[in-house]
Chains A and B, each alone.
Chain A
Amino acid sequence: MSANNENIVSVNGLSKSFGRHEVLKGLNLEAARGQVIGILGRNGTGKTTLFKILLDLIAPDQGSVRALGLSPDGSGKLRGLIGYVPEKPAFHGFMRVEEVLDFRAKLFPRWDMGKALELCKKLELDTKAKVKDLSKGNTAKLAWITAVAHNPELLLLDEPTSGLDYLVRDHILSGLVNELADGGKTIIIANHRMGEMGGILDKVCLLKDGVISAVYEAEFLKTETFRVSIRLENAELPENAGVKLLSRSGSLAELAVFGRKNMENLKTGSEIQPMDLDTAFKALLGD
């Protein structure tokens, strides 16, 4: 157990290259206890590498990493304390679901079999089914269950709802909320559809060029972002980091505006609407 005033996750100056390809270039990230943090980044920008370093699967080149009061040291101990849902979950095909759970019960120190079975029932996952026969949705359910059944203080979720149908997605998001309701859980989640998490997120970190280039409070993104349609006579766009061009046809342009203060110059002669999260995220990733 880590002290209450210490961050659950603390990453400083993390760098990692694969050969000549620099993926992470001095990344900093903090997550306090109980926070839900979204990592927003395009594919191949290093979010999986970041997760793998946090999980002690890959050795960092430089920088310090601390999670749950421990530093990754190659022993795999951290993996017993973190709940991880990988982007492409996989289990041994010849095992049945119940065998997967039994197997993990023997390896994870805080495994709660009662909880695991209860979740199977709740998510309608047949414990007798063989892993190789599971659909993508059921595999995702199993991945979720194995991640949370040992009651970890930290959850790392890599695209947990990607490619899943509405019902399974709903299950997983409800599951997330339930874990939060239990209390004391910190969640770091990378999601292509970050918008669906709008009600749950506390912060969104933008992963760009190998660093966290910006951190936004969820409240800010929900209440202080606007879509503004204006007429741009000359091809000039207001020079402002908080204003991004969404679309343009002729003189008519639509802008994404971040921050109420950036609205000042645009109020007259413009149509203003609140911006939904998905559009906001798209705009942030855009440049």
Chain B
Amino acid sequence: MRTLIALQLKKNLIGFAGLAVCLLASAPLGTPILRHLLPNNDGITEAFVVLFMGVIGLPLMILLYSGKCGFQSAEESILNTEQTLPISQYQLLLSSLTSILVQAAGLILILNFLVAFVPGPYNIRKVAISLVRDFPYYFVMLQVVLSGFAFSYALKNGIAGGFFGGVVVLCAGYPFGMMLDYKLAYSIDRLTPMFYLVSIAAASSALAAIKLLSDVSDRKEKKTIFKLSLISFLLLAPLILSFASLTAFNLAARSLIISAEDYHIKLPAAIKPIATNLKTGYSPVNLLVRPYTEEVFFIDSSGEKNVLVPGNNEYNFPFRMRPMRKYLILQAVMNPEGEIWLLRREPSSRTCDLLNGTAKNGLKAYAVLARGKGIWLLGGERPIIFTDKSKFGLGQYYRCQLPGKGIVDCKEYSIAGTDKKAPSAQLPG
């Protein structure tokens, strides 16, 4: 096998050398050219060019390169020069693939070297370094090689194969980004192995597709419907797998229920004394929220689920592409009679909704309040709302609002940062 890989490397030596030279010259030559061509050239530095190469240039080069090799492996000329050797035709293909991977690794190494040493702003270099030294980058490159090769071997065309392979990798990669969002947004750590499983499965399916293609194409086995369907399935497997695992993430996210506590920004120390003194009347409710649908509810003393805000099912399941972000503020207080005041902010909104009602009859919108930097609903005889409108970090200003029936009464209330006096004595009314 080593002999074969050596042969493949030798065969493509000139091509590889060309790519390496292009890569090495991309920064020193590309930068001045781009600066000359583009008028707004402040951002164009060697580091920027190299980052561009890392994200777009190199994957594209490797895609077309493996496409060319895949096409080469399907050519007639190989029949007598290589297939007549005493190694299986599949092994021959594997040797070609291995040589491409070796060469791709070499190019990535060159890129690694470039990102570390080219001149340019530190932040761009930092991004570039973390890109090319990150595990996902290698997986993506691996899939680029395998899919590019498989498609061009199947279609017997380097450009078409490279194109379709690239499309598959791109479309399969997009859900990965989504999955990452989901993982972070919903803290779904238990599904992290899926990233690796999908990558490995995608790579394996490309290899399996190549084996079947070799049987059908080189060995001229019967092209049954079953075989051709299986091959198509395997070639498209990365797509299927990543969307399937995106679905899994969706399902996991959908089933997530968390306490509304998670959404709170911590109560400022200055208000704590007030909060702890409010013992009678309205008291805080342990709100639960299903972040995926934004359904808000609580479990009452008898174990019943009381829905306060019905869930939003309008996003298309299972491909909800934009996971919900955890920027809601949710607080509720309830008196023994069951009257509820609920404070809630939509993810994209700069204002809060104050709702009032009961669990049985539903909540109605009461008022719209400006959020400021933070807003808190506290219980007591009559519920109190605090907002933090600090300006430029100098001192703290609390705007105290006392909702009664009807119009919300707004009064300015401020604490000078220096005296650090507790505001409780200065509550109006």
A contact set with B: CB distance below 8 Å: 16, 18, 55, 57-59, 61, 74-81, 84, 86, 88-92, 94, 103-104, 106-109
Nearest residue (CB) in A for B87 is A76
Interface residue ranges of B1-39 to A (CB < 8 Å): 3, 7, 10-11
The distance from the CB of A160 to the nearest CB of chain B, in whole angstroms, is: 14
Most buried by B among A18, A103, A108: A103
Q: A89-B80, A92-B81, A103-B7 are in contact. Are A59 and B220 (CB under 8 A)?
A: yes
A86 to B80, Cβ gap below 8 A?
A: yes
B86 to A77, Cβ gap below 8 A?
A: yes
B219 to A90, Cβ gap below 8 A?
A: no
Q: A90-B81, A91-B81, A103-B3 are in contact. Are A58 and B87 (CB under 8 A)?
A: no
A107 to B83, Cβ gap below 8 A?
A: no
- B84 beta carbon closer than 8 Å to chain A: yes
Chain A at the B interface: SS class = loop
Q: A88-B80, A89-B80 are in contact. Are A107 and B88 (CB under 8 A)?
A: no
Interface residues on B, range: 20 to 34
B219 to A80, Cβ gap below 8 A?
A: no
B91 to A76, Cβ gap below 8 A?
A: yes
A106 to B81, Cβ gap below 8 A?
A: no
The distance from the CB of B16 to the nearest CB of chain A, in whole angstroms, is: 14
Nearest residue (CB) in A for B216 is A59
4 shortest interchain CB distances as A-B pairs: A80-B86, A90-B80, A79-B86, A76-B88
Report how far A90 CA is from B84 CA in the complex, Å.
10
A57 to B85, Cβ gap below 8 A?
A: no
- The residue that B3 contacts in the complex, of A77, A78, A94, A106, with Cβ under 8 A, is A106
The distance from the CB of A22 to the nearest CB of chain B, in whole angstroms, is: 13
The distance from the CB of B15 to the nearest CB of chain A, in whole angstroms, is: 13
- B221 beta carbon closer than 8 Å to chain A: yes
- The residue that A18 contacts in the complex, of B10, B85, B87, B220, with Cβ under 8 A, is B220
A90 to B215, Cβ gap below 8 A?
A: no
Q: Mark B187-230, 1 if CB is under 8 A from A, else 0.
A: 00000000000000000000000000001001111100000000
Q: Mark B85-124, 1 if CB is under 8 A from A, else 0.
A: 1111111000000000000000000000000000000000
Residues of B within 8 A of A94 (CB): 10-11
B80 to A107, Cβ gap below 8 A?
A: no
The distance from the CB of B194 to the nearest CB of chain A, in whole angstroms, is: 35
Most buried by B among A104, A107, A109: A107
Residues of B within 8 A of A86 (CB): 80, 84
Nearest residue (CB) in A for B85 is A107
B contact set with A: CB distance below 8 Å: 3, 7, 10-11, 77, 79-81, 83-91, 215, 218-222
Residues of B within 8 A of A91 (CB): 81
Nearest residue (CB) in B for A88 is B80
Report how far A79 CA is from B91 CA in the complex, Å.
14
Residues of B within 8 A of A77 (CB): 86
Nearest residue (CB) in A for B3 is A106
The distance from the CB of A75 to the nearest CB of chain B, in whole angstroms, is: 5
Report how far A80 CA is from B81 CA in the complex, Å.
14
Residues of B within 8 A of A80 (CB): 86
Contacts A57-B89, A75-B88, A79-B84 known; list 18 others, CB within 8 Å: A16-B220, A58-B219, A59-B221, A74-B90, A74-B215, A76-B87, A76-B88, A76-B89, A76-B91, A78-B86, A89-B80, A90-B77, A92-B81, A94-B10, A94-B11, A104-B85, A107-B85, A108-B86
Report how far A57 CA is from B90 CA in the complex, Å.
11
Residues of B within 8 A of A75 (CB): 88
Report how far A86 CA is from B81 CA in the complex, Å.
10
B84 to A84, Cβ gap below 8 A?
A: yes
Report how far A228 CA is from B206 CA in the complex, Å.
66
- The residue that A74 contacts in the complex, of B3, B7, B85, B89, with Cβ under 8 A, is B89
Contact sample, A vs B, 21 pairs, CB 8 Å cutoff: A16-B220, A55-B84, A57-B84, A57-B89, A57-B219, A58-B220, A59-B215, A59-B220, A59-B221, A61-B222, A74-B90, A74-B215, A76-B85, A79-B84, A80-B86, A90-B80, A92-B7, A92-B81, A94-B10, A106-B3, A108-B86
Report how far A55 CA is from B84 CA in the complex, Å.
8
B83 to A57, Cβ gap below 8 A?
A: yes
Residues of B within 8 A of A55 (CB): 84
- The residue that B219 contacts in the complex, of A74, A78, A89, A103, with Cβ under 8 A, is A74
Report how far A106 CA is from B7 CA in the complex, Å.
12
The distance from the CB of A267 to the nearest CB of chain B, in whole angstroms, is: 51
Residues of B within 8 A of A58 (CB): 219-220
- The residue that A107 contacts in the complex, of B3, B10, B79, B89, with Cβ under 8 A, is B3
